[in-house]
């Protein structure tokens, strides 16, 4: 009954349109009253939820990503990717440029929505101008943006670490996301090549040497951000928090003093938007911490484990059921609340089946990321449609091959744990 009251209150609040953070708070209050816990104890848990030092990672990386995404970095990364692809003159070269540019920007922004908006606004019109269907360009941009949810500095990896109570290293999660993210990019490039030769997409152009050198030098300033984040963490120079702080300073320097595309008068608006984003995330984390506390008191994880064991004791069957559950959750709820709600429930279940918490984090992020490319919630999908200026119906008719590729990668990541675990095991330990 306690679990029913907790979940029932939460779902009822969702259905009447209450903001997710407030819905979580109301569910926590209802659950506390049901189990007889003083509300003062609940307030302490809400406070504890946002008092961790690791929380500093979020504002640093959100701000660094916002500065680089809006300061002309996307356009320069697209040009640099064009140089690299132009060396091969492959058919469908511009579609490969789209994926590569998104890969580069993902390692800077940490946000799939930001990547979709920034890369899509540059690449979709350019691809259409060169003879690619606009819907194809939009679908490719939407799908390749899922990389940002996995590769460092993924904001959602930080949220997952916080949802585990800080027991999982953010650096380990960052490293674990590198190969799954690159695998998505590589798989999409293979799909692009198949479609390009089947539908006769144009070849990539070779950039003249003088222009290529200028583009490379111009893009190198921003690519150093990748070196700061990855190299600093891999080399043990920075913690994840320190890497975020240094990335912020470097992003500000490059944007305002090197590229100088961004106006000083626009900076307060960007800071205000960043603060709003961080405030929303922090409120979600605080309220989700209270819900997690009530879930622990009601022994929900243990009961969920018993439920899964009643279905099967085979780990691989349970992983398949878990994927179906998370895919459905990802289509119905935005990513941050999904992570904060599902992690305290499902992580203990998966640990009982011998699944590594870092590996489970990658499974969860990839599932929920695919959900963001599907209605009815689909934040990446709707941003892509808006940027690409195409209807949802047009996109959904043509996006199925891209879903197929992402689901294929999901199966590989789920059943081959070393894809996620090899790098953190060999680099961080």
What does the angle CA 8 – CA 14 – CA 15 come to, to the nearest 5 degrees?
A: 90
Mean pLDDT of the chain: 84
**pLDDT of the residue at 87:** 65
| pLDDT of residue 295 exceeding 90 | no
Written as six digits, the tokens of 79 are 């040009």
Residue carrying structure tokens 């680089």: 68
| pLDDT of residue 117 exceeding 80 | yes
Least confident of 12-16, 230-234, 377-381: 230-234
Reference 6, options 19, 25, 18, 21; nearest CA is 25
Written as six digits, the tokens of 78 are 């697209």
**pLDDT of the residue at 136:** 92
Q: What is the average pLDDT across 193-205?
A: 83
Least confident of 18-32, 80-94, 124-138, 313-327: 80-94
**pLDDT of the residue at 429:** 62
Q: Under a CB-based contact definition with an 8 Å cutoff, are residues 79 and 213 in contact?
A: no
**pLDDT of the residue at 191:** 94
**pLDDT of the residue at 311:** 81
**pLDDT of the residue at 187:** 95
Q: What is the average pLDDT across 282-299?
A: 79
The pLDDT confidence band at residue 13, using thresholds 50, 70 and 90, is: confident
Q: Under a CB-based contact definition with an 8 Å cutoff, are residues 367 and 339 in contact?
A: no
| pLDDT of residue 398 exceeding 80 | yes
Reference 428, options 179, 226, 170, 243; nearest CA is 170
Rg for the chain, CA atoms, rounded: 22
Sequence-distant (≥ 6) Cβ neighbours of residue 347 within 8 angstroms: 164, 301, 357, 360
**Cα–Cα dist 112/244, whole Å:** 18
| pLDDT of residue 2 exceeding 80 | no
Written as six digits, the tokens of 257 are 């003093």
- Helix residue spans in 205-261 (DSSP H): 209-226, 232-234, 240-253
DSSP string, 76-96: HHHHHHHHHHHTTT-BTHHHH
The pLDDT confidence band at residue 41, using thresholds 50, 70 and 90, is: confident
Which is higher by pLDDT, 268 or 410?
410
Instruction: List Cα–Cα distances, 72 to 105, 144, 247, 335, in angstroms.
Output: 11, 20, 16, 27
Reference 77, options 63, 95, 62, 98; nearest CA is 98
For a pLDDT cut of 90, what percent of the chain falls above it? 18
| pLDDT of residue 366 exceeding 90 | yes
3-state secondary structure 128-191: HHCCCCHHHHHHHHHHHHHHHHCCCCCHHHHHHHHHCCCCCCHHHHHHHCHHHHHHHHHHHHHH
For residue 203, the SS3 value is strand
**pLDDT of the residue at 428:** 67
Q: What is the average pLDDT across 260-271?
A: 83
The pLDDT confidence band at residue 60, using thresholds 50, 70 and 90, is: confident
Which is higher by pLDDT, 75 or 366?
366
HSE-CB at 64 with a 13 A cutoff on CA atoms is 33
């Amino acid at each position: 009954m306690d679990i029913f009251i907790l979940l029932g209150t939460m779902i009822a609040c969702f259905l009447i349109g209450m903001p997710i953070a407030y819905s979580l708070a109301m569910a926590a209050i209802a659950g506390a009253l049901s189990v007889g816990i003083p509300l003062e104890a609940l307030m302490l848990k809400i406070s504890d939820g946002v008092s961790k030092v690791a929380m500093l990672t979020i504002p640093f990386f959100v701000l660094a990503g916002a500065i680089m995404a809006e300061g002309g970095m996307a356009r320069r990364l697209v040009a640099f990717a064009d140089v690299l692809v132009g060396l091969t003159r492959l058919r469908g070269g511009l579609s490969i440029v789209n994926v590569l540019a998104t890969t580069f920007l993902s390692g800077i922004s940490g946000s799939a929505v930001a990547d979709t908006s920034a890369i899509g606004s540059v690449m979709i019109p350019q691809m259409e101008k060169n003879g690619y269907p606009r819907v194809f360009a939009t679908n490719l941009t939407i799908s390749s943006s899922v990389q940002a949810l996995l590769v460092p500095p993924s904001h959602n990896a930080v949220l997952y670490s916080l949802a585990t109570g800080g027991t999982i290293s953010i650096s380990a999660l960052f490293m674990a996301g590198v190969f799954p993210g690159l695998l998505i990019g590589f798989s999409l490039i293979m799909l692009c090549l198949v479609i390009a030769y089947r539908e006769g997409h144009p070849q990539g152009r070779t950039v003249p040497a003088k222009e290529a050198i200028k583009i490379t030098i111009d893009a190198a300033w921003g690519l150093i951000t990748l070196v700061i984040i990855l190299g600093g963490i891999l080399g043990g120079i920075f913690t994840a928090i320190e890497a975020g702080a240094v990335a912020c300073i470097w992003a500000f320097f490059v944007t305002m003093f090197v590229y100088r595309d961004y106006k000083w008068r626009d900076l307060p608006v960007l800071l205000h938007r960043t603060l709003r984003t961080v405030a929303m995330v922090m409120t979600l984390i605080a309220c989700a911490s209270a819900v997690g506390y009530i879930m622990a008191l009601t022994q929900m994880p243990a009961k969920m484990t018993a439920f899964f064991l009643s279905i099967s004791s085979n780990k691989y069957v349970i992983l398949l059921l878990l994927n179906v559950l998370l895919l459905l959750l990802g289509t119905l709820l935005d990513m941050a609340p999904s992570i904060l709600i599902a992690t305290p429930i499902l992580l203990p279940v998966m640990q009982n089946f011998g699944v590594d918490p870092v590996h489970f984090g990658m499974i969860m992020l990839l599932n929920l990321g695919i959900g963001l490319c599907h209605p009815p919630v689909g934040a990446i999908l709707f941003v892509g449609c808006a940027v690409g200026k195409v209807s949802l119906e047009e996109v959904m008719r043509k996006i199925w091959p891209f879903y197929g590729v992402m689901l294929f990668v999901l199966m590989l990541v789920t059943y081959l744990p070393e894809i996620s675990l090899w790098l953190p095991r060999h680099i961080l330990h």
